[in-house]
Structure 1
Amino acid sequence: MGFPVPAVPSDGERERVAELLQQACGEGRLTLEEFSVRVGEVWAAESDAELARVTASLAPTPLVGTSHTVEKVITVFSNTKRRGRWRLRSGRLGTYTVFGSTNIDLRDLATGADVIEITGSCVFGELKILVPEGVEVDVTGLRAFSNQETRLAPVPRLPGTPEIRVRVTTWFSNVEVLSKPAARKA
């Protein structure tokens, strides 16, 4: 007499749970970073019970701080930081920096978009974009007398995470795209 073997979730079940997580992210109940971590757990789940635990603690309603929608970040002779919980409904963000510094942290972003497009320009300035590990990032754009550095962790892309496309024209500027692991929450 042996112990019962737990049922292994099918790909269809995993995709259904990943879609639920993506919807929760779009509603502001999960940040992009939380979504990335949980969707990784979906594909690593070895039993139906493990799969069920991924969605068990979802907040029933959006958390405070997710109602402010950002579509443009404009920085002129100053410093702008966009971090914490915020919403990007359309999947598009315009960034315009002139003689300044713009820091955009996408780890606590709430969006249901499959593709996040960041476009704009940076003239005599700095643009720094922070993304969670496991997302695909494509950086393009005209660079003149500028530095561009992309430092992403060597981890596989997590299925279901959005692709991030950065298309910024730079003149005498510095553009950095970095990934950081999920912050440990108590």
Structure 2
Amino acid sequence: MGLPVPAPISDGDRERVAELLQRACGEGRLTLEEFSVRVGAVWAAETDTDLARTTEGLAAQPIVGSAGTVDRVVTVFSQTTRRGRWRMRDRSVRAHTVFGSTEFDLRAVLTGADVIEIVGTVTFGELTVIVPEGVEVDLSGLSAFSSREMKLAPVPRVPGTPVVRISVTSWFASVEVVSRPPELTR
């Protein structure tokens, strides 16, 4: 007699685990990057054991550094960087940069939103947005005497990850969106 064959995983099972991970991300127990990696593993799981591994080690409480929320960033003649674990107040951040540089690294952002929006203006400055690989990004807005560049890795979209919508008016500015592989440090 051979070993028992594990039952196939249903789409409903996968969706329930993906929803659990999304709630954990919204509660601050996973970053967007950790969520992206884990939800990708949910859809790649072949057995119940593989599926169970995707929820192992979920913090019972929000992760340190997640208490402060951000909804607006104004940079004038300076540099602002949002990196590491940070929480969005809502689903959107307003960013206004004049003669400066603003960087948002969304790989460790804590959010449960299906859509993340960055809306604002860049005048004589630069805006850089870093996203995890496998996240869909839409870049729009008026651009005059400016450069816009999207450098996204040619990887499939990770199901269940939020869409990042960037709507920025840029004058004499640079707007860049890049994806980077996971740098999980837990």
TM-score bin (small chain): over 0.9
Local SS of the residue matching 2:160: coil
Number of aligned residue pairs: give it: 186
For residues 112 and 129 of structure 2, the distance between their equivalents in structure 1, rounded to whole angstroms, comes to 19
How far is 1:184 from its partner?
A: 4.4
Mapped partners of 1:5, 1:89: distance in 2: 46
| Cross-structure match for 1:24 | 24
User: Structure 1 residues 133 and 54, CA, compared in 2 at 3 Å: closer, same or farther?
Assistant: same
Aligned runs of 1:10-49 on 2, under 5 Å? 10-49=10-49
Tell me the distance in 2 between the aligned counterparts of 1:6 and 1:89: 42
| Displacement of 1:138 | 0.2
Give the 4+ runs in structure 1 shifted more than 2 A: none
Verify the 8 A CA contact 2:34 2:184 in the aligned structure 1.
no
What SS does structure 1 have at the residue aligned with 2:54? Answer: helix
Aligned to 2:177: 177
Q: Secondary structure at the match of 2:70?
A: coil
Verify the 8 A CA contact 1:8 1:46 in the aligned structure 2.
Answer: yes
Alignment RMSD (CA, Å): 0.8
Structure 2's unaligned 5+ residue stretches are none
Give the TM-score taking structure 1 as reference length. 0.98
Q: Deviations over 1:1-41 (max 9, x none)?
A: 11111222100000000000000000000000000000000
TM-score (norm 2): 0.98
The offset of 1:117, in angstroms, is 0.8
CA distance in 2, matches of 1:33, 1:150: 19
